[in-house]
């Protein structure tokens, strides 16, 4: 087995990973130094989940807007749990990143006067979300991918699945990856490793997230000894299509769509009258669930729905601004939004938590960096505002790429011999999953039960009893997952094996979510405890960091950085 070697290994070829790789290469170019960069991705990079982002990216680009207003919106949206120094970096750097994307070829929509168009988004005081139709992620990802091809110092390992990070308690030495196309394991030595492996929405049953969003990067960091921060905060998007969970972008409300209940009422008047459809996602999701619980929606409350009405916007506007929404609704629901309202219900969409980093993507483990949805900087606190995440991938991807390059220039690199590590992972994985592989249960059975218990215990509304139930269920599933039935014994493209490895990561990620949620005895942002309905700043204006220890999960608390916006009641 060969040991490969690069200076920087980036796990993930989505927006954050590509932006980081490009910035690392540019930093080296500017410094006149050489830097050998690798991107390892379990799918071809343009199939990363970023490709499915619809609505847009937030940045202050108009005279009527200010950095302070964008920061305040973000901090209030986060229910004051965002680190305000990080938010200031986000809003200050966002415009130059958006302009840079334009220069690299991103086809932002434009107004007739030539300005880049902006649209309204939930929780934002003014129109500040730039977009490329309703396929923003597709265009941004392709722009970065084609830009990355310019740099000959970037090598790609497409369809390689990272199975572990090689680290001791002092520093990182590299990774082990499974080449999915051949079934062979390889160690890649690196002076720095960056996790840009995205989120883990698939730990829930009903989600907008692609099937590859299994939280691998979070679990990889956690196992290597880096803490996972704010994991209790997961975001439910108010408008998913029933059954599939396909996202109907917030831009549909930004363009003027209404939410109505079965009585034909615009029910948000009862919950958030000043913002209505432009309220933040946590509040609107709770409003929908409350309507359903009161029998004011359609269908059973557990999988009932309300309506999103776009009819008054007219076919011409819908075709120009929301063509993808027309296509998705017609294809997957058989419903034409031009003449019929769209059924929608809250759907798991995003993870605010992730690997704890500083503002340059550094984790507490020397040489390990993280950016994008994988990381928790944190600008999102207890609730992310829509369209801040694409911007986060650009701003903090670039900062992490540049910081990692700087670190590598100063680092000799370890002299650790990695030749046995690929074999170690291969033996462990083959012994556990492929020898006597008929003795256990199917991956799909355990995954289904895992997703069901997360919906049950860690949904929009939570209680100690429900969370306890999920904690116990996860312990049982972890035990059962030690024995899995994998029918496919081939080496090439053994996606059943990949599914088993993903399930193993999901179990770790799910555990950090429910345990952190059980511990936080208050309600804040997207984390609402029916047994602790108030926000409690005195006790809980803090981050929780989950650490893996030999005795199980241990939570450490860390302060929230406040710069100039003192916490106050979150009112809209």
Residues acting as catalytic residues:
237, 253
Selected range binding ligand FAD among 45-53, 320-328, 521-529, 542-550, rule: CB under 6 A: 45-53
Element (H, E) at 267: none
Q: Name the nearest CA neighbour of 218 among 90, 371, 98.
A: 371
Q: Tell me which residue of 43, 36, 35, 37 sits closest to 12, measured CA to CA.
A: 43
- What is the nearest approach in angstroms of ligand FAD to the Cβ of residue 385? 9
User: Closer CB to ligand FAD, residue 305 or residue 505?
Assistant: 505
Our CB check for ligand FAD shows the closer of 161 and 258 to be 161
| Strand pairing class (258-260; 234-240) | unpaired
- The 130-169 contact track toward ligand FAD, x by CB under 6 A, reads ------xx-----------------------xx-------
Among 4, 8, 9, 16, binds ligand FAD (CB under 6 A): 16
**3-class state of residue 306 by DSSP:** strand
Torsion, CA 91, CA 97, CA 18, CA 225, rounded to 10? -20
Using CB under 6 A as the binding criterion, the count of chain residues that bind ligand FAD stands at: 46
Give the residue with the Cβ less far from ligand FAD, 165 or 292.
165
Interface pick for ligand FAD out of 4, 8, 9, 14 (rule CB under 6 A): 14
- Does 350 engage in binding with ligand FAD (CB under 6 A)? yes
Question: 172 vs 471, which CB is nearer to ligand FAD?
Answer: 172
Q: Measure the CA–CA gap between 230 and 380, rounded to whole angstroms.
A: 10
Determine contact, residues 167/365, Cβ cutoff 8 Å: yes
| Token pair recorded at residue 367 | 């040489």
The reply on whether position 387 binds ligand FAD by CB under 6 A is yes
Stretch that binds ligand FAD, among 91-99, 142-150, 206-214, 358-366 (CB under 6 A): 206-214
**Residue 17 near ligand FAD by CB under 6 A:** yes
Q: Tell me, rounded to whole angstroms, the distance of Cα 84 from its chain centroid.
A: 20
- Which region, judged by CB under 6 A, interacts with ligand FAD, from 145-153, 329-337, 389-397, 529-537? 389-397
d(CA 97, CA 541): 31
247 near ligand FAD, judged by CB under 6 A: yes
- H or E element that contains 250: none
CB-CB contact of 76 with 123 (8 Å): yes
Q: Is 43 in the site for ligand FAD (CB under 6 A)?
A: yes
Burial class (CB in 10 A: 0-12, 13-18, 19+), 236: buried
Name the one range near ligand FAD by CB under 6 A: 15-23, 92-100, 307-315, 451-459: 15-23
Q: Which of residues 48-107 bind ligand FAD (CB under 6 A)?
A: 48-50, 52-57
Q: Which is nearer to ligand FAD, 40 or 553 (CB)?
A: 40
Question: Of 28-36, 37-45, 355-363, 541-549, which segment contacts ligand FAD by CB under 6 A?
Answer: 37-45
As measured in angstroms, the least distance from the Cβ of 466 to ligand FAD is 25
How far apart CA 519 and CA 524 sit, in angstroms, is: 13
Neighbour tally for 105: CB within 10 Å: 12
Q: Residue 12 or 304: which CB sits closer to ligand FAD?
A: 12
Q: Which one of residues 235, 389, 414, 523 is an interface residue with ligand FAD (CB under 6 A)?
A: 389
42 binds ligand FAD (CB under 6 A): yes
Question: Which two structure tokens, joined as six digits, stand for 18?
Answer: 């590509």
Site for ligand FAD, residues 394 to 413, rule: CB under 6 A: none
The distance of closest approach from Cβ of residue 376 to ligand FAD in the complex, given in angstroms and rounded to an integer, is: 12
12 binds ligand FAD per the rule CB under 6 A: yes
As a whole number of Å, the CA-based R_g of the chain is: 23
Q: Is there binding between residue 245 and ligand FAD (CB under 6 A)?
A: no
Stretch that binds ligand FAD, among 21-29, 196-204, 485-493, 510-518 (CB under 6 A): 196-204
Using CB under 6 A, which of 192, 196, 288, 454 touches ligand FAD? 196
Q: How far apart are CA 45 and CA 19, in angstroms?
A: 12
Q: How far is the CB of 448 from ligand FAD (least distance, A)?
A: 20
Residue 368 pairs with which residues in a beta bridge? Answer: 193
Q: Provide the minimum distance between the beta carbon of 447 and ligand FAD in the complex, in angstroms, as a whole number.
A: 16
CB of 249 to ligand FAD, least distance (A): 6
Which stretches of 93-224 are assigned E, i.e. beta strand? 129-130, 154-158, 160-167, 172-179, 184-189, 192-195
Q: Which stretch binds ligand FAD (CB under 6 A): 7-15, 186-194, 289-297, 305-313?
A: 7-15
Enumerate the H helices of 4-150 as residue ranges: 15-31, 67-77, 84-103, 136-148
Which two structure tokens, joined as six digits, stand for 378?
Answer: 């944190």
CA distances in angstroms from 378 to 153, 251, 459, listed in the order given: 30, 24, 22
Taking CB under 6 A as the rule, does residue 197 contact ligand FAD?
A: yes
Minimum CB distance to ligand FAD, residue 535 (Å):
25
**Cα-Cα-Cα-Cα dihedral sign, residues 475, 476, 482, 486:** negative
Q: What span, in angstroms and rounded, lies between the C-alpha atoms of 138 and 472?
A: 40
- Judged by CB under 6 A, the chain residues 215 through 244 that form the site for ligand FAD are 216-217
Q: d(Cα 418, Cα 166) in Å, to the nearest integer?
A: 8
The residues, ordered by sequence, that sit 6+ positions from 281 with a Cβ below 8 Å of its Cβ are 122, 123, 235, 236, 237, 238, 250, 349, 383, 384, 385, 386, 526
Task: Write out the residues near ligand FAD by the rule CB under 6 A.
Answer: 11-17, 40-43, 45, 48-50, 52-57, 136-137, 161-162, 196-199, 208-209, 212-213, 216-217, 247, 350, 372-374, 386-390, 393
């Amino acid at each position: 087995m060969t040991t490969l070697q690069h200076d920087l290994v980036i796990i993930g070829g989505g927006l954050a990973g590509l932006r980081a790789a490009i910035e690392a290469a540019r930093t080296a170019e500017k410094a006149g130094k050489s830097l050998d960069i690798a991107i390892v991705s379990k799918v071809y990079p343009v199939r990363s989940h970023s490709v499915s982002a619809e609505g847009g990216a937030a940045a202050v680009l108009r005279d009527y807007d200010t950095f302070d207003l964008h920061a305040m919106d973000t901090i209030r949206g986060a229910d004051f749990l965002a680190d305000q120094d990080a938010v200031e970096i986000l809003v200050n750097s966002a415009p130059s990143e958006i302009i840079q994307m334009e220069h690299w070829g991103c086809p932002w929509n434009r107004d007739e006067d030539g300005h880049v168009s902006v649209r309204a988004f939930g929780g934002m005081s003014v129109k500040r979300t730039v977009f490329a139709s309703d396929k923003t992620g597709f265009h941004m990802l392709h722009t970065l991918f084609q830009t990355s091809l310019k740099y000959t110092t970037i090598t790609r390992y497409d369809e390689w699945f990272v199975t572990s990070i090689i680290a001791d308690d002092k520093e990182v030495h590299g990774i082990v990856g499974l080449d999915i196309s051949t079934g062979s394991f390889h160690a890649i030595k690196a002076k720095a490793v960056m996790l840009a492996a995205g989120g883990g929405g698939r730990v829930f049953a009903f989600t907008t997230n692609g099937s590859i969003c299994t939280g691998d990067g979070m679990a990889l960091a956690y196992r290597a000894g880096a803490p996972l921060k704010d994991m209790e905060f997961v975001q439910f998007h108010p408008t998913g299509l029933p059954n599939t969970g396909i996202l109907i972008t917030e831009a549909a409300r930004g363009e003027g769509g209404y939410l109505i209940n079965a009585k034909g009422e615009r029910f948000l008047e009862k919950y958030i009258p000043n913002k209505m459809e432009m309220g933040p996602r946590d509040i609107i999701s709770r409003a929908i669930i409350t309507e359903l619980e009161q029998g004011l929606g359609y269908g059973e409350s557990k999988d009932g729905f309300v309506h999103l009405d776009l009819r008054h916007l007219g076919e011409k506007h819908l075709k120009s601004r929301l063509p993808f929404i027309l296509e998705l609704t017609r294809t997957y629901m058989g419903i034409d939004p031009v003449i019929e309202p769209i059924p929608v219900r809250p759907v798991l969409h995003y993870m605010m938590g992730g690997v704890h980093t500083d503002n340059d993507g550094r984790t507490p483990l020397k040489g390990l960096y993280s950016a994008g949805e994988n990381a928790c900087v944190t600008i999102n606190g207890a609730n992310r505002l829509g369209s801040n995440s694409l911007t986060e991938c650009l701003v903090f991807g670039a900062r992490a790429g540049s910081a990692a390059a700087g670190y590598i220039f100063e680092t000799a690199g370890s002299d650790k011999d990695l030749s046995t590590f690929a074999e170690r992972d291969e033996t462990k994985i083959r012994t556990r999953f492929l020898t006597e592989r008929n003795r256990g249960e199917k991956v799909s059975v355990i995954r289904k039960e895992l997703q069901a218990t997360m919906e049950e215990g860690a949904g929009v509304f939570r209680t100690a009893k429900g969370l306890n139930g999920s904690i116990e269920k996860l312990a049982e599933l972890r035990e059962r997952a030690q024995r899995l039935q994998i029918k496919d014994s081939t080496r090439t493209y053994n996606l059943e094996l990949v599914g088993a490895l993903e399930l193993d990561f999901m179990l770790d990620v799910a555990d950090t979510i429910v345990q952190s949620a059980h511990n936080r005895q208050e309600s804040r942002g997207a984390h609402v405890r029916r047994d602790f309905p108030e926000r409690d700043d005195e006790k809980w204006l803090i981050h929780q960091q989950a650490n893996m220890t030999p005795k199980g999960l241990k939570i450490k608390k860390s302060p929230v950085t406040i710069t100039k916006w003192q916490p106050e009641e979150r009112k809209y």
